[in-house]
Each structure stands twice: as structure tokens, then as C-alpha cells.
Structure 1
């Protein structure tokens, strides 16, 4: 009877130990897994959103470049048509993306054009003429009408153009229109380049460029081009079910133009099946679960073997485990002279160590989600979190919105590797600014953001801080193979909580454009502080 009772008691104690440790393991595993999964999903979503933003910026920058080139031709001598035709041919030779360029008279008749195409014909009914009589016109992607037969596409596909046209005036009198058709082939080339780069880093992704006018897919998988996008999105990252019944993690950005180019509102969408996107999350969750289950199994076996002598020490161990769950203890008590109890305590401590290491992995992934991979500075995600933390304070902050001057020339001349080294050095100089509590952020490309408490600084003192920063950045940067120099333009504003911070950020951005327009290499305050 006593032996039977002892065996039953041993079984009960062993099962109790196993159950207790299993529940503790499940609780800790669930907490760590949930937090790690959230951090990973956030980081993966931000990565796709950033990719779509970069492609939208690249498309807008390309259109801005062509827009500027067309505007430079507004000074054409309309009296000398041969010279006008020669200049147009020269521009087309240098920039083949211009499929056709032509100058009309005031009635819309083409008087000079590249290769003489459409000369003498009227385009008076075409938007490229009608919409550009008073102000520059930028038309969205459309198929060729008048030029379809004159400029056949070697691929056999219908020609598609983007229009850029500007009015021509002489002594204040309307003389005609400079009209251009940009081949949409350049957009396809940009998308293909992005696809190649993206597929080297991320598996199974699709890129779309969608018209902001009618939601039609302009670029993307062949079976979807020309059709409306089947799902609606808001900017940022989200999970949506598409028309194929599959869930995708999707990042979306809307092109907002560049400098004077207003943009066409193109939506750039990047999608990836959730099964692929969140595979690292599932791997991490599985690993954490197996660690917990293995630790539970080891503990149960030890409990079965030692149940007859662990009743009293087990109570102390259980109490300590409860305290550890609450964060009030971090080690188990050592039972001198009782080898089995020491083994049990060691197994439990190993479990906590393993789970703590998993927590460290979560912290690591969280840091990745909040840091710019190249410079190590905080990124947009970290900036939002920092502003949310400061929103309840009453202390005003100075915002600097900063853009590098001359960086594109360095990139174009020496390549992206040198450009990356320049960005890293600029980040170091931002961190070295002799201001307390300075918080530097890399937004994207060569755009940075800086904020620090205003304390009692006057507008003049803030301007002096900006001048110091411009001087620091303008110092030559000596690299292994070359010495380069860049400058900086800064827009400044003041954020006074609890005012929403995005207002002050937009004000600083507006002020940055003033610095650019006034000659660069300077700081401009928002007009509210001027």
C-alpha cells in the first residue's frame, strides 16, 4: 500500500512538475514569440514600403529631368525653323527617350519637328497642344494616335507615350507650343532594373506602377498591364487578399513629384506572398517553441526520477519560477548536497537562458527595423516612435530638414560605392554636431533630418547652429581612392508640442526648397519664423 501510494505520489509529482514547467514555458514562449513576430513583420513591411517609395522617387526624378530639359527649350528662335529642327534632332539624339519633339504655330500646325515627322500636320485637337496654351502640360501614359504608323514599335506592341509640352511666347504673345512624346519604354527599363535588384534580395515579389487617374496598371506582370488594379490600398504596408485568392504583404507609395515637377500621382505597389514574406517569423516561432518543449521534456524526466525527494525543495523552486515570471528574480536557489535538485534547477535555468537568448534575437530584429542599414542612423520608423514619445512634452524642438548638394555628381562620377561612403561620413558629421540631445535621422537617399531641443536659443542662434552644420558637411571627404566635397541645404522649423509634429516637418521641408531655390548651401527658416 505504501509502495503503491509512493508510486502514485511520484507520478503525481512528476506530472505536476511537467505541467507547471510546460505552462511556464508556453507563457514565456508565447510572449517572446508574439513580440519577436511583431517586430519582424513590422521590419519586413517597412522594407517593402521603402522599396515602393524608392521606385516612386526614381520615376518622379526621371520625369523631372525631362520636364526641366523641355522647359530649357522654351527660348527657341521660332523664326529660324531649320535651326529649331536641328536643335530638336540634337536633343533627341542625346536623349532617345524623346520619341518625337515638335514646335507648332499658334494654330496648332507643326512647323518644325524631329526628323521632319508630322511637319505641316495639325495637332490642334490633341491634348499635348490644347492643354499647353497657357501653362506647361504633363500627360499620363497613353497609346500613340498620330504617330502609330510613322514610328512603328520594333516589338510589335502599341507605342505608348507620356506627354510634356510647354507654351511658347514672344513679347508676351502666344506663338505656339513645344510638344514632346516620351516613349514609355524608359518606364519599363526602370521597372526591370528594380525587379532585378529586388529579386537579388527578396524572393517572389511583384512590382506594379498604377495610374493615379483611373487605377489602371501601367507597368507590372504582363497579364495585368492595361487592367484596373483589383485591390485598393493606402500608403504604407498592409496585408490584403488579391483576386487570385492569395494573401500578399503589400507596400504602396504615391509619387508626389519632384521640385517643380508636380507628378502624375503614379502609385507604386510591391507585393509578396505572406507565406514567403513571413517565413522568417514562422521559423523563429518554431525555434522558440521547440526550445520550450525540449526544456519541458527534460524537466519532466528529471521530475519523474527525483519526485520522491523533491517535495520540499520543489516548492522553493516553484516559488522562484513564479517570481522569475514576474521579473523579481533571475536565478534558481541552489540545493547544496542534493544533486538531483541541483540538476532540476540547472535545467530550468537553462530554459530561461534559452528563452532570454530568443528575447535578445527579438531585440536585435527590433533594432534592425529602427536603424538605417547603411549609416546606422535612426530611420523613419524610429523617428515616428521618437516623436510619439515627445508628443506629450511641452518643450519645443528645432527641426532641420537637410538635403546634400552635389551628391548626385559624386554618385554619377565615382559610382554608388563612393556615394555610400560619403553618406556614412555625413552621418558621422551629423552625430558630431556639438549640440546636446541632437537626434539625426536618415530619411532616404541623400535626405537627412535633425532635431534638438530649442531650450532658450534665439532664431539667430539656431541659424548659427545650421551654419556650423553646413560648414562641417562642406569639409572635404578623403576616401581611399579620391577626395570629394559635398554641400548641404537646410530647411528649419520649430515644433511646439502638443502640435502634431508632421506640420513642423512639412514646414521644414518647404523651407528646404527655399534654400535650394535661393542658391543652395544655406539655411532657410519657414516663413512663420522669418
Structure 2
């Protein structure tokens, strides 16, 4: 009877210890799996958002290039139509994207054009003339009207154009309009290039370019072009249900123009079926679960086999494991004299160490995602998190939107390697600024953002801080024995809760443009605070 009772008690102890170790392993495995999956889902969403932003920048840069070329032709002599026509034909030959270029007189009659098309005809009622009598005009994508039957159309598809036109003046008097029609085929080429590149990396992905004017799809899958986009989005990555009933992970960016080209507000949308996008997450979770289950099974079997002869040492191990789960211990007690117990303690410690290292790596990669790879400053992702924390603050902050003056010339003259070295030096100087609780960020290129609490600073004192920043950044830099100098322009605004921080950032950005327009190398405040 005594022997029978003893055996049952040993079995109960063995099962209890095995169950405890099993639960410990599953808890740790579940924690690591959950956090790793969240991080991977965020990374996938940011990848789609980055793709949409890159395509929006590509489209805006192309339009900026054509916009610059059109402005270069403003000096045409309207009194020499033959010479003007020859020059326009030459421009079209070198830049085939211009389907038609024409020059009108002050009444809107075409006096010279590529291949003589529409010469003598009036375009006085067309937006390309009406909207460009005082300032340059950029029109959104539209189908051809006057030129539909006059231009070559080998595909037979409806011709679509983007208009760019500028007024022509002589001695301050309006002489006419230089009007151009850009073939929308270039947009399809850009989208096709992105599609090919994207599909090499990501499966089942669709790209859309949507008009701000009427929410119509300008570029995208053939069955959706010309139709309103059926789903509304905000910038960033979200999961939405589309009209086909399927959930898609979607990234969206808005074209904001390039340099002095204001942009047409095209929205670029990238979508991928959620099941495809998050398939790596499910694979990761399954893999971690199986590893955890396997480790738990091994541990449970060892505990069951050894419980009858090592009840006391295993109890110590179990108690220590519980303390480790609570964060009150970081290693298992040393077991001596019994080789099996030593092995078990070592296996458990290795398992916990491995899981802990995985968590540390995840935290490390999160930190990398919040840092600019070149300068080490916080990036846009980190700034968004910092601004989210400001919602809980009742303290007023000063925002500086900063842009380097002359940086493009450094890149053009000395190359991008020197430009990168200069950006690193500028970032080091920003770090050393003696401004309490300064938070410096590199936004992109040579654009930076500074944020610090206002406290008792007056507007005049903020001006002095900005001047000190400009003076610091304007000091010459020596790179490979070359002395390089750049300046800095700053736009400033003041954010006070509960106003959304992004409003103050936009105000600082507007003020920066004023600094640039007023001669650079200065600080301009948002007009509400001047």
C-alpha cells in the first residue's frame, strides 16, 4: 500500500512539473510570436506606402521636367512663325512626349505649331489658352478634343493629354500663349515600369493613379481606368474591403509637386490582397508555434521520465522558471551530481536565452526603423510616433522646418558622396545645438525638422534661436581638403494643444517657402505669429 501510494504521488508530481514547463514555454513562444508578427505586418504596410510614395514622386518629377522645358520656351519671337515652327518641331523631335506644341496670338489663334497642326485655328475657348493668360497653367488628364483626328494614333485607343501652357509677354504686353499637350502614354510607361519592378518583388499587386479632381482612375488595371475609385483612403497603409468583397492591404500617397511645380494632387494607390500580404506573418507564427511546441514536448517528456527520482531538483527548477517569467530571476540554479538534471537546467536556460535574444533583436530592428540610415537622426516614422505622444502633452512647442541652401549645387559639383558627407556633418551640428529638449529629424534629402518646448521663449527669442541655428549650419565644412559652404532657410510655427501637430508642421513648411522666396538664409514665422 505504501509503495503504491508513493508511485502515484511521483506520477502526479511528474505530470505537474511537465505541465508547468509546457505552459511556460507556450507563454514565452506566444509573446515572441505576437510581437514579431506585429513588427512584420508594420514592415509590409510601410513597404507598400513607400512604393506609392516613390511612384508619386516619379510622376511629379516627370511633370516638373516638362514644366521646366515649357518655361524655357517663353522667349519665342512671335514675329517669325517659320522659325518658331522649326524650333517647336525640333523640341518635339527631342522630347516625343510633347504630342503637340503651339503658339497663339493674343486672340487665341494658333500662329505656329508642330507640323503645322491647327495653325490658323482658334483655341480661345480651350482651358489651355483661357487659364494661361496671366500665369502658367497645368491641366489634369483629359481626352483629345481638337486633336483627336489630327494626330497619329496607331493603337486606336482614345488619345489623352496633360496640358501645360504659359503666357507670352513682350515689353510687359500680353502677346499670346505657348500651349502644349503631353501624351498620357508616358504615364502608362512609368506605371508599367513600376509594375514590372514591383511584381518581381511582391505578388498580386495593383497600382492606381487617381485624379484629385473627380476621383477617377487615370492609370491602373484596364477594367478600372476611367471609373471612380470605389474606396476612399487616407495616406499610409490600411486594410480595406474593395467592391469585389476581398480585403486588400493598401498604401496611398498624394503627389505634392516637385520644386516650383505645384503638382496636380494625383493620388497613388498600391493594393495587395491581405491574404497574400500577410502570408509571411502566418508562416512566421506557425513556425514559431511548432518550435515552441517541440521544445515544450521535449521538456515535458524529460520531466515525466525524471520526476520519480529527481522530484526535489525539478521543483527548484520549476520555481525558478516561474520567477523568470515574472522577471525576478535571470538564470536557473546550478545542479551538480546528477548529469540529467544539469542537462535539463541547461536546456531550459538556453531556450529562455534564445527567446530573449529574439525579443532583443526585434527591439533592435525597431530602433533601426526609426533612424535615418545616413545621418543617424530620427526619421519620419520616429517623428510620427513623437507627435502622437505630444497629444498627451499640455506644453507648447516650437517647430522649425529647415532646408539647406545650395545643397543641390554641392551634389552637382562634387558628387553625391561629398553631399552625403556634408549631410552627416550638418546632422552632427544639429545634435550639438544647445537647445533644451531639442528633437532633430531628417525628413528627406536636405530637409530637416527641429522641435523643442517653447516654455517662456518670446517670438523674438525664437528668431534668435533660429539665427543661431542658421549661423551654425552656415560654417564652412572641410571634406577631403575641400572647403564647402551651404546656407539654411527656416520656416517656424508654434504648436499648442489640442491643435493637431501636423497643422503646425504645414504652417512651418509654408513659412519655409517664404524664407526661400525672400532671399534664403533666414527664418520666417508662420504669419499668425508675426
TM value normalised by structure 2: 0.86
Q: Does 1:442 align with 2:439?
A: no
CA shift in 2, pair 1:254/1:183, >3 Å: same
**Residue of structure 2 equivalent to 1:257:** 257
Q: How does 1:90-101 map to 2 (within 5 A)?
A: 91-92=91-92, 95-101=95-101
| Superposition deviation, residue 203 in structure 1 | 5.5
- Give the Å deviation of 1:261: 4.1
Q: Partner of 2:207 in structure 1?
A: 207
Deviations 1:448-486 (A, max 9, x none): 212233454454443344344334444555656987654
Q: How far 1:31 sits from its partner (Å)?
A: 2.2
Which range moved further: 262-271 or 59-68? 59-68
Cα distance 1:472–1:454, how it changes in 2: closer, same or farther (>3 A)? same
SS in 2 for 1:528: helix
Distance 1:95 1:419, change over 3 A: farther
Instruction: Verify the 8 A CA contact 1:208 1:270 in the aligned structure 2.
Output: yes
After the TM superposition, which residues 445-524 of structure 1 pair with which residues of structure 2 at under 5 Å, given as runs?
A: 445-475=445-475, 486-524=486-524
Task: Give the deviation of 1:409 after TM superposition.
Answer: 4.4
Instruction: Give, in angstroms, the shift of residue 235 of structure 1.
Output: 1.8
Aligned to 2:289: 289
Shift of 1:110: 1.0
- State the match for 2:361 in structure 1: 361
Structure 1 unmatched runs, 5+: none
- Unaligned stretches of 5+ in structure 2? none
What is the CA-CA distance between 1:13 and the residue it aligns to? 2.8
Task: Answer whether contact 1:295 1:347 (CA < 8 A) is retained.
Answer: no
Contact in 1 for aligned 2:67/2:164 (Cα 8 Å): yes
CA distance in 2, matches of 1:421, 1:197: 30
C-alpha distance in 1 between matches for 2:178 and 2:32: 63
SS at match of 1:111: strand
Change (3 A) 1:223 1:473: farther
* Secondary structure in structure 2 of the residue aligned to 1:238: strand
Structure 1 match to 2:123: 123
CA deviation profile, 1:233-264 (whole Å, cap 9, x unmatched): 22210123445665432210122334654432
Aligned positions, number:
530
CA contact (8 A) 1:39 1:365 kept: no
2:58 equivalent in structure 1: 58
CA distance in structure 2 between the aligned counterparts of 1:154 and 1:482, rounded to whole angstroms: 55
Cα deviation for residue 180 of structure 1 reads: 1.4
Moved more, 167-176 or 223-232: 167-176
Which residue in 2 is equivalent to 1:34? 34
Structure 1 44/294 Cα, relative in aligned 2: closer, same or farther at 3 Å? same
Distance 2:50 2:448 in 1: 15
Q: Does 2:182 correspond to 1:182?
A: yes
Q: 1:319 maps to what in 2? A: 319
Encode CA deviations 1:199-220: one digit per residue, 9 max, x unaligned.
5665654332122233333223
The 8 Å contact of residues 291 and 354 in structure 1, kept in 2 or not, is answered as no
SS of the residue corresponding to residue 403 of structure 1 reads: strand
1:401 is matched with 401
Distance 1:480 1:451, change over 3 A: same
Q: Distance in 2 between matches of 1:62 and 1:408?
A: 18
Any conservation in 2 of the 1:48–1:250 contact (CA below 8 Å)? Answer: yes
Distance, in Å, in 2 between the alignment partners of 1:473 and 1:190 is 38
Task: Report which stretch shifted further, 83-92 or 132-141.
Answer: 83-92
Alignment partners' CA distance in 2, 1:90 and 1:478:
45
User: Cα distance, 1:521 vs. partner?
Assistant: 3.0
Using the size of structure 1 for normalisation, the TM-score is 0.86
How do 1:312-391 residues align onto structure 2 when only pairs under 5 Å count? 312-335=312-335, 337=337, 339-391=339-391
Report the CA distance shift for 1:172/1:61 in structure 2 as closer, same or farther (over 3 A).
same
Tell me if structure 2 keeps the 8 A contact 1:292–1:351: no
Please say if residues 400 and 493 of structure 1, whose CA atoms lie closer than 8 Å, have aligned partners that are also in contact: yes
The residue that corresponds to 2:278 in the other structure is 278
Correspondence for 2:17: 17
Match of 1:234 in 2: 234
Tell me, in whole angstroms, the C-alpha distance in 1 between the residues paired with 2:398 and 2:164.
Answer: 40
Q: Secondary structure at the match of 2:120?
A: coil
Report if the CA contact (8 A) 1:401-1:490 is conserved: yes
Shift of 1:423: 3.9
For the residue of structure 2 that corresponds to 1:494, the secondary structure is strand
Compute the displacement of 1:74 (Å). 5.1
Contact 2:14/2:308 (8 A) holds in 1: no
Per the alignment, residue 305 of structure 1 pairs with 305
Equivalent position SS for 1:308: coil
Q: Does structure 1 retain, via aligned residues, the 8 Å contact 2:165–2:180? A: yes
| Residue 166 (structure 1) shift | 3.8
| Per-residue Cα deviation, 1:86-141 (whole angstroms, up to 9, x for no partner) | 55456545644332222223443212223432111122343323444565432211
CA distance in 2, matches of 1:370, 1:151: 51
CA change 1:499–1:140 in 2 (3 A) is: closer
Superposition RMSD on alpha carbons, in Å? 3.5
Following superposition, the deviation at residue 287 of structure 1 comes to 4.1
Change (3 A) 1:134 1:379: same
Contact 1:6 1:308 in 2 (8 A): no
8 A Cα contact 2:142 2:160, kept in partner: yes
**How much has 1:363 moved relative to structure 2?**
0.8
Looking at structure 1, the residues matched to 283 and 481 of structure 2 have their Cα atoms a distance apart, in angstroms, of 43
